[in-house]
Structure 1
Amino acid sequence: MAYYALAEETGEIIEQNLNWFQKKIWGPVTNPELWENMMWEIIKVLLIIIVCRVLIRVLHKAINHLIIKKGDTRLQFTPRRMITIGKLLKNVTTYVINFVMILMVISEWNIVDLRPVLAGAGVLGLAIGFGAQSLVKDIITGFFIIFEDQFAVGDVIEVNKNRGTVEVIGLRSTRIQSWTGEVFIIPNGMINEVTNFSLHNSVAFIDISVAYEENVDEAMEIMKKAMPELKERNLDIVKVPEVLGVQMMSASDVKIRIIAECKPYTQAGVARFINIEMKRLLDAHGIEIPYPRMVTYHRSEREG
């Protein structure tokens, strides 16, 4: 009797397990509707992945086109810098699109409820934004300085009345060095207005003084003949200097103006070069350059 009771009990357990297996596992597995839904979910996930990959490729090509166009419009093209900017933009777009793709895949499979995650991320981002406003402002401004190519390393700029050569451009700050040696470290968020002296050619203005006693027309003709030679001797001069004519007549001299288009921020050196050459030229032709003089009159007293 005990044997039959044990066998009957065992049979009931086996039957219960078979019923559970058929209901919980075999039934859903053999359900065609389950496989159909799973197939559509897989197709949706594959479409999301394919669309994101195509979008990444399109954005990368657009970035390459933008970088090439930006480099062609700049006077001093720096390939390494433009390549760095392109890689930065490509990495940002790749990370953002992949992050969105992962969120979309998770939402399709209902693995995690994204609403609490997104809400927590929003609260965390808001807290960080309020706690580090200046840092965020510096980073955003630095990104746009690099992206818009407002200035590059080696350019001479003026920021907040500080003029110097750019040494380092970072997302956080910019470092410039003045010609006297001072180094200015300026947070990018404080850069409100920039004057760039290195984007286009400069113009040097030189005023040469000639005495009233001299023939001004002859002096101007001598200067004009010497201008082509000056361009050949100075590599910073990009065009033959022009003798414009008499600029001003003062109490003791006549000023003849010369202008010279030169490379960016080289006008001071070009002006010094032309000044010394004009001094030598006028001396060689015997044309007097005025200088302060003192005239003394001796008055003789009549005798008794």
Structure 2
Amino acid sequence: MEQAKWFESMFERTYDYLANPELWINLATRLILIVLIVIVTKIVTVIAQAAVNKIFIRRENGKLQIEQRRLDTLRVLTSNATRYLIYFLAMLLILDQLGIDLGPVLVSAGVLGLAVGFGAQSLVKDIISGFFIIFEDQFAVGDYVTVNTYTGTVQEIGLRTTKIKNWTGEVHIITNGSIQEVTNFSLQNSVAVVDVSVTYEENIDEVERVLEDVLKKVAAENENVVQEPQILGVQDLGPSNVVIRITAECKPTTQYGVARMIRAMVKTEFIARGIKIPYPKVAYMASEKEKM
């Protein structure tokens, strides 16, 4: 009997609690505010990232001139940091709407962060290494680099990881703390080296005059060539060919395209001038029986 009364009393209290209109108005208000916080967070994030992108647009006539590669790196890093900060503030506002006291949460977060700092030393190492990579300008977004054993174009430099995309499309994600060696191909001009082979019967002086005409065209037509290509002279004497070496100073990481253009134009000009390029030949000697 007493148990039945207890259940009846519990049911009445639960009914009264759920039937209270102020409860549902309060829940609806909090739910609407949470939805508004999420929407405003999305809008603010988009606006903030657009503002960051606009701030880091390179101004040609500005007093402070910074390389575009460094601007891209700082832009990505600032954009990520801004997004994380906005998300953190939005999370605090949502917790406040859920009725959670933020004081103990922040204190707990500080204690937890201290514990993580002691335990996750590799994470701290990654962040510190990422800071010095950006501060010392070791490489930047858009640079063509070799990091450890990976070669490709830097897509993103974060505080913890660096993303490198190679020429076949794979993206390598490397923790900054594990970066031991870096070779940056984008800091200085590169040199295209082309070896041209001709037969021993050709006149070397005439061949070099033809090459000079070709190289002048290359310098005029290819904007990546910084200085007019140079003919260094005879590089090697092969079994059936004479090798003449050409060098061309060009913009960073453009040497392969310049070298391909030089080879194509040299071949076309050699054919037009009647200069022979050596290639393997097979001589067939008929036997006495075949002659008969």
- Establish whether TM, by shorter chain, passes 0.5: yes
Q: CA deviation at 1:163?
A: 0.5
Q: CA deviation at 1:240?
A: 0.3
Does residue 286 of the first structure (1) align with residue 274 of the second (2)?
yes
> Does the CA-based 8 Å contact 1:85-1:146 persist in structure 2?
no
2:288 aligned counterpart, secondary structure = coil
Q: Distance in 1 between matches of 2:174 and 2:269?
A: 46
The residue number in structure 1 matching 2:258 is: 270
Q: CA deviation at 1:80?
A: 5.9
Matched AA of 2:131: F
Q: CA deviation at 1:225?
A: 2.6
The residue number in structure 2 matching 1:6 is: none
Q: Distance in 1 between matches of 2:78 and 2:156?
A: 18
The residue number in structure 2 matching 1:226 is: 214
Q: Distance in 2 between matches of 1:220 and 1:234?
A: 20
Matched AA of 2:133: I
Matched AA of 1:226: V
Cα deviation per residue 1:51-107 (whole Å; 9 max; x = unaligned)?
xxxxxxxxxxxxxxxxx99x66x5x554465588899xxxxxxxxxxxxxxxxxxxx
Q: Distance in 2 between matches of 1:81 and 1:300?
A: 76
The residue number in structure 1 matching 2:193 is: 205
Matched AA of 1:284: A
The structure-2 alpha-carbon separation of the partners of 1:84 and 1:158, relative to structure 1 and needing over 3 Å to count, comes to closer
Q: CA deviation at 1:162?
A: 0.6
Q: Distance in 1 between matches of 2:121 and 2:134?
A: 20
Q: CA deviation at 1:205?
A: 0.4
Does residue 254 of the first structure (1) align with residue 242 of the second (2)?
yes
Structure 2 portions without partners, runs of 5+ = 1-62, 80-110
TM-score by length of 1: 0.60
1:142 aligned counterpart, secondary structure = helix
Matched AA of 2:152: G
> Does the CA-based 8 Å contact 1:158-1:164 persist in structure 2?
yes
The residue number in structure 2 matching 1:157 is: 145
> Does the CA-based 8 Å contact 2:69-2:143 persist in structure 1?
no
Larger radius of gyration: 1
Aligned ranges 1:141-220 → 2 under 5 Å: 141-220=129-208
> Does the CA-based 8 Å contact 1:85-1:147 persist in structure 2?
no
Cα deviation per residue 1:154-207 (whole Å; 9 max; x = unaligned)?
111111211111111000100010000110000000011111111111001000
Q: Distance in 2 between matches of 1:202 and 1:254?
A: 26
2:142 aligned counterpart, secondary structure = coil
2:219 aligned counterpart, secondary structure = helix
TM-score by length of 2: 0.62
Query: What is the total number of aligned residue pairs between the two structures?
Result: 198
Q: Distance in 2 between matches of 1:83 and 1:297?
A: 71
Cα deviation per residue 1:194-232 (whole Å; 9 max; x = unaligned)?
111111110010001101111112101111133222111
> Does the CA-based 8 Å contact 2:231-2:247 persist in structure 1?
yes
Matched AA of 2:221: R
